[in-house]
Amino acid sequence: MFQADTKWQPVSGTPQFGLLPAITGTLYVSAIAVILALIFGVGGALFLNYYLPDNIAKIFLSFIELVAGIPSVIFGFIGLTVVVKGFAKIGKMAAGQCVLAAGIVLGVMLLPYVIATCSESVQNARKTYELSALALGLSKEAVLLKTILPSIRRGIIAAAMMAFGRGLGETMAVMMVIGNSPIFPKFFGRGQTIPALTALEMGSIEYGSMHLSVLYAANAVLLILLFVVLGCGHMLRRRLDKDET
């Protein structure tokens, strides 16, 4: 039905349905976004729940929950205005649309989910371990690094899996900033994801055509990727549970 090559030419004289660039672009953008979201999300959750007063932390967490409800098209417009234009000026790129821009925008969208999930883990860890650790004479920073942070590993993995699953299916914001070129993705080059490819081409496809069948197959691949990621995360969490016991 489709070829695992780099050519996507569905309306040419000899149609070619190479999905490898879209599959790679989907994984590439999602991986960049999850890494960025974990770096800032875990750090943000620790700062909010460990250093800030509870009343101020609650205000910030409420604001973060509000940000999570913002439509993705708004993030797309912000990405076009800030990230894409920034790359165009700083990186001296023609348009600024690239895989990294999509990863940054998607990472910002995933950040509230990571912070919320990790915050819950930090709060539970503090209730369980903090008083005992402080009673042993450990400093606040030592408690954080040696007790709190190791104990929230399961929460971090859960946040990463949830963020990755959310990132795999994101369409509008990524479509607005990635450039939508069916080529093999590069860090500062244009690319395309499976959801963006589907959204761009679904409306102009003849029902029952090979083109439509390939898009169905592409989204089946996306679903398989999601199950693989979630399965790996579940196995890793079970292994951590065994190590802790």
Please, which contacts does 85-94 make with residues 24 or more away whose CB atoms are closer than 8 Å?
A: 87/188, 91/188, 93/188
Q: What is the pLDDT of residue 154?
A: 85
Q: Which residues contact 165 (CB under 8 A, 6 or more apart)?
A: 226, 229, 230
In this predicted structure, what is the pLDDT of residue 208? 73
The rounded distance, in Å, linking the Cα atoms of 111 and 26 is 18
User: Which residues, in sequence order, are CB contacts of 180 under 8 Å at separation 6+?
Assistant: 190, 192, 196, 197, 200
Q: Which whole-number Å values give the CA distances from 33 to 10, 40, 104, in the listed order?
A: 29, 11, 6
What local confidence, expressed as pLDDT, does residue 173 receive?
A: 93
How confident is the model at residue 1, as a pLDDT? 47
Counts for the chain of helices (H) and strands (E), in that order: 12, 2
Give the C-alpha distances (Å, rounded to integers) separating 80 from 33, 59, 201, 223.
Answer: 17, 29, 22, 28
Tens of pLDDT along the chain (245 residues)?
445 556 776 666 677 777 888 899 999 999 999 999 999 999 999 999 888 888 998 899 899 989 888 999 999 999 999 999 888 888 666 678 899 999 999 999 999 999 999 998 888 888 888 888 888 888 888 888 888 888 888 889 888 988 998 899 898 999 999 988 888 888 888 999 999 988 888 877 778 778 788 888 889 999 998 898 888 877 877 776 666 55
* pTM metric for this prediction: 0.87
Q: Domain 16-244 sits in which CATH superfamily?
A: MetI-like (1.10.3720.10)
CB under 8 A, 24+ apart: contacts of 164-167: 164/30, 164/31, 164/34, 164/229, 165/226, 165/229, 165/230, 166/109, 166/110, 166/113, 167/29, 167/30, 167/33, 167/34, 167/106, 167/110
Among residues 173, 210, 163, the alpha carbon closest in space to that of 193 is found at: 173
Other Cβ atoms within 10 Å of 145 Cβ, number: 13
Hunting for tokens 């709190």 — which residue is that? Answer: 148
Six token digits for residue 47: 């700062």
pLDDT of residue 206: 75
